[in-house]
A and B are shown apart, each in its own frame.
Chain A
Amino acid sequence: MASVKKAKSDASSAISNTSKIPEAAELKQLYRNMLLIRRFEEKAGQLYGMGLIGGFCHLYIGQEAIVTGIQSVQEPQDTVITTYRDHGHMLACGMDAKGVMAELTGREGGYSRGKGGSMHMFSSEAKFYGGHGIVGASASLGTGLAFAHQYQGDKGVAVVYSGDGASNQGQFFECMNMAALWKLPVLYIIENNQYGMGTSTKRHAAGEFYQRGASFGIPGEKVDGSDVLTVQNVARQALDYVRSGNGPYVLEMSTYRFRGHSMSDPGKYRSKEELEKAKAERDPIEKLKALMMKELGMSEEDFNPFEKEIKAIVNESAEFAQQSPEPHPDELWTDILKPVEA
């Protein structure tokens, strides 16, 4: 269990294969955290369908193990940044489901008071730095978070998420170069969900994602991103490596997005069979559940309390997101600039 699919880049790997299955309490926590993301996203999809959420809404369903596994082994001072597919990352960072959902509905109670939307939420308290709508931007901004960790000497690591599509952007390479050159404490996570919108990796990327840093001497690893324990194990070691001052590390998380790219996705670029197969074989929640049933002897019924707890949280968030008022018209004019202190 929890074996790392060995696919080392030319640079030497810092990851070992050995890991043991965590304690029951930890397994349950991982399960619960993934389930929260899943049910939250389903609810978001529903509210979108009702016209309560506007614009773009990129769901994370199918990819939950990645952020859940990594977050579980981070240190409190670490920072996180990602793309527009960000709801799961925010929940994993401990941000309040109510505030996230209310931002999706564009209400006053949202994290950005309704001024950011699905793609633009932040919480300096939770050390979550967005939420960025420009494909590739998180790589540079995240490398800057790492620069700040090094500058301030706080022993933090910046965990920087990008998609497979984003990792083709020039700035991704520009920043890997600087990160390696200056030994910045940054962990690059490439969430390879096999598609950049409707373009499959086969049609948009040459070579291997985990080797993208190889020419800069950055080690990389390809990881089964549907297995939260594998993710956890690999991330722990990669974070250690980065935190010890060795410079950046690249983890390619092989995963699959179960939903459309955004909400309106014709889905013509992939077959139903492919999608069904992925759902059947690569559902991170089902996989962990099966493991827990086997290892902990849990029954179907034993999972009901998770559903119950999560349902309450998610329903409360949806309720809040509809009850919270729209921002006051005066909000139009606030937060354009910070006032200059005299």
Chain B
Amino acid sequence: MATQILMPALSPTMTEGKLSKWTKNEGDKVKPGEVIAEIETDKATMEVEAVDAGVIGKILVPAGTEGVQVNTPIAVLLEDGEQAADIPNALFACGRPGLSADAPKEAAPVQTTATASAGSAGAHITNRDILYAQGKVIEPPVFDENSYTQNTVTMTVREALRAGMSEEMRKDESVYLMGEEVAQYQGAYKISQGMLDEFGPKRVIDTPITEHGFAGLAVGSAFRGLKPIVEFMTMNFAMQAIDHIINSAAKTLYMAGGQLGCPIVFRGPNGAAARVGAQHSQCYASWYGHIPGLKVVAPWSAADAKGLMKAAIKDPNPVVFLENEIMYGQSFECPSNDDFVVPIGRARVEREGTDVTLVAFSIMVGKAMQAAEKLAEAGISAEVINLRSIRPLDTWTILESVKKTNRIVSVEEGWLYAGIGAEIAALVNEHAFDYLDAPVARVGAKDVPLPYANNLEKLALPQVDDIVNKARELVNK
């Protein structure tokens, strides 16, 4: 049967072009892939190749024609044995696509049932991630933390991180730990101390200094069902690897239509340590918090560290786990029960209050707690929220608190510009504007690369008094 050859597009934006040359004449035989014509736009020249075999029956648009619309028939192709005279008249008509590009049918809806209405109990929310993506404010996952706090042991954040990893590695053979100095050196910050002895070199793996490579390697292994924990000596060095964290780990599930998961944990100390200068001190919470397809957590206490670590390893998605070097040595009470798993997406109210909400994560939770003490001395009752998770953010808990206190200060160690505090300000603005008695306030690092000098570093990083002063401004006391 005779078919039309249509004016092709060189790019999705091309609408017309010049048919500069025919390399075949009427009556010529053509094979698939053979060049039959050349077309030109202001940007490029392209050859038009025959898709089917046949004979050029009729050239509809002569060489040299300018402004030929895409999809206009430019020639008629005959099957072997057909004559030009056999060409149905309809095929000479211009401006009509030859192939039946019928309007697509409506696809069947998929189960995304965004069922939860604000106020429904957390336990009954299905498809939580869809609701988060849609910006809905939903109750955080159910978690009866008090049932775990009866039996606790005192441990450092370092020990808690190790315990979290080790417990999960004992349960699941597919979990392994990889990074620089994690094995024989026992961890640059001794997080993995003793783990090589317990789990052996197959599962506790020293890498070369090659962050981009081993992050990609770990992601590839997660595509095959392994569950890597990738330690970055600090998160600053993960900038070498951020392409794989974002492009390969975070986006693949979506790009694969749900086929290929990536259960992986990227962890390491984040933010400022003590006078290590600008290249070793950055907070990446807002960087990773920006990315759909990632979960991001930032523990403060030992309980956070252990409970979130276990949640991160069990999670079938990529989790960025932001630790803090200064916190490693600090001790807290930590639930001793093996089942203590802190659900990602649930914040913790560390201290209740009525006058102002201080919302913080990681090391800044401690600073906010100190600030709350000082504020109490001044007669101001501050509520302190430990975010625990950066993404998904427990918007529910933040908003409930603001509705009670009517004032909020966001505290983060990183720069304010496009930071977590900016996100919280937007959230409160959108959902609790009418409850506010004062504008949302933010405390964070000064907008400079972190200096080395002791006095300058202190000036650059948020201090307890900065939080106290901001809170006092808001309550006018």
Contact = CB atoms under 8 A, between A and B. Distances in A.
Contacts of B218: 144, 147
Given A46-B51, A174-B210, A260-B46, A337 B224 contact: no
B99 A322 contact: yes
A305 interface: no
Nearest to A285: B33
Nearest to B210: A174
A313 interface: no
Contact of A50 (B71, B105, B212, B255): B71
A323 B130 CA distance: 28
B104 interface: yes
Contacts of A158: 220
Given A50-B99, A140-B220, A141-B223, A112 B202 contact: no
A120 interface: yes
B208 A178 contact: yes
B254 A335 contact: yes
B134 A333 contact: yes
B45 A175 contact: no
B133 A333 contact: yes
A51 B72 CA distance: 12
- Best-buried of B6, B133, B254, B295 by chain A (most CB within 10 Å): B254
Given A140-B213, A328-B110, A336 B220 contact: no
Nearest to B295: A337
Given A48-B9, A335-B254, A178 B292 contact: no
A151 B104 contact: no
B224 A322 contact: no
Interface in B64-108: 70-71, 97, 99-102, 104-108
Contacts of B295: 337
Contact of A148 (B110, B130, B226): B226
Given A170-B212, A174-B213, A335-B254, A330 B247 contact: no
Interface stretch (A233-241, A243-251, A264-272): A264-272
Contacts of A280: none
Interface in B179-219: 202, 207-208, 210, 212-219
A129 B260 contact: yes
B102 to A, nearest CB: 7
A221 interface: no
Interface stretch (B268-276, B311-319, B375-383): B311-319
B119 interface: no
A319 B3 CA distance: 15
Interface string B233-255: 00000000001100110001111
Contact of A145 (B45, B107, B224): B224
Given A49-B9, A116-B256, A265 B104 contact: no
Contacts of B33: 38, 42, 61
Nearest to A307: B53
B419 interface: no
B110 A337 contact: no
Contact of A144 (B102, B109, B220): B220
- Best-buried of A39, A139, A141, A267 by chain B (most CB within 10 Å): A141
Nearest to A328: B107
Given A116-B255, A144-B222, A322 B101 contact: yes
Dominant SS among interface residues on chain B = loop
A341 B427 CA distance: 28
A134 B250 CA distance: 14
Interface string A54-98: 110000010000000000000000010100000000000000000
Contacts of A133: 247
Contacts of B14: 264
B8 A338 contact: no
Contact of B129 (A81, A134, A337): A337
Given A108-B107, A123-B259, A144-B221, A50 B248 contact: no
A39 B32 CA distance: 8
B124 to A, nearest CB: 12
Contacts of A265: 44, 46
Contacts of B256: 111-112, 115-116, 120-122, 130, 335
A9 B32 CA distance: 39
A284 B253 CA distance: 35
A147 B220 contact: yes
A219 to B, nearest CB: 20
Contacts of A289: none
B110 A340 contact: no
Nearest to A115: B257
A140 B215 CA distance: 8
- Best-buried of B128, B208, B212 by chain A (most CB within 10 Å): B212
A76 B105 CA distance: 37
A49 B258 contact: no
Contacts of B292: 336
B203 to A, nearest CB: 9
B110 A50 contact: no
A148 B174 CA distance: 10
Contact of B252 (A130, A174, A311): A130
A277 to B, nearest CB: 15
Interface string B35-68: 0000000011110110111000000000000000
Interface in B314-332: 314-317
Interface in A190-209: none
B470 to A, nearest CB: 34
B213 A178 contact: yes
Contact of B244 (A114, A137, A335, A340): A137
A50 B12 contact: no
Interface in A4-62: 38-39, 42-43, 45-46, 48-52, 54-55, 61
A170 B208 CA distance: 14
Contacts of A175: 213, 216-217
A263 B10 contact: yes
B366 interface: no
A17 to B, nearest CB: 33
Nearest to A149: B224
Interface string B337-357: 000000110000000000000
Contacts of A107: 104
Nearest to A338: B316
Nearest to B344: A340
Contacts of A148: 220-221, 223-226
Contacts of B220: 81, 129, 140-148, 158
Given A337-B253, A337-B293, A50 B101 contact: yes
A310 B9 CA distance: 25
7 contacts: A42-B49, A112-B257, A137-B248, A147-B217, A148-B225, A263-B10, A330-B112
Given A111-B256, A148-B223, A264-B44, 6 more contacts: A50-B9, A140-B212, A140-B213, A144-B221, A333-B133, A334-B110
Interchain residue pairs A-B with the least CB separation, the first 3: A144-B220, A140-B216, A49-B8
